[in-house]
Amino acid sequence: MFKITSTTIDTKTLKDKLSNDKAGAIVIFEGWVRNHNEGKSVDALEYSAYEALCNNEADIILTETKEKYDILEIGGAHRTGLLNIGDVAIFAAVTSKHRKAAFEACEYLVDQLKARLPIWKKEYYTNGDTHWVNCQQCCQKQTSHPKGTK
């Protein structure tokens, strides 16, 4: 279970969907929007995604993770659109009988989602500048801040 969503990620509901009486552990990763990056003050982030391809590749990644690790349940979500400081941008969770497998699988899951999903991140800086981050094929042109000039 993985989804791309333009609405707030309901972490409690997603966690509840992974409930399994055989589980002795759950490891959850929540990636939050922080107020800085590489020495710059950040006001907001904007994520864009190729949703159909994201969902297809996420299914492949979840299947790979299940095959690679001794886990019971797995799931996640990624936001799109404009996010504010403190918002959850990505959620990933894994349940297993024992903690080690859950930790290892969750780390693998997050790393693979971040590396392989066609999701692009734009940072909005306090000084009014913007920048596409880790997007080698995107336009790097500076554009206006979503909240107007600062």
Please, what's the b/e burial string for 93-108 (b: 16 or more CB within 10 A of its CB; e: otherwise)?
bbbbeeeebbebbbeb
* Residue 109 CB neighbours (<10 A): 28
Its CATH class, for the domain covering 2-133, is alpha beta
Which among 2, 112, 120 is positioned nearest to 50, based on CA atoms? 120
Which tens digits make up the pLDDT trace of 33-58?
999 999 999 999 999 999 999 999 99
Which tens digits make up the pLDDT trace of 58-101?
999 999 999 999 999 999 999 999 999 999 999 999 999 999 99
Domain ranges of the chain: 2-133
pTM of structure: 0.88
Mean pLDDT of 97-120: 97
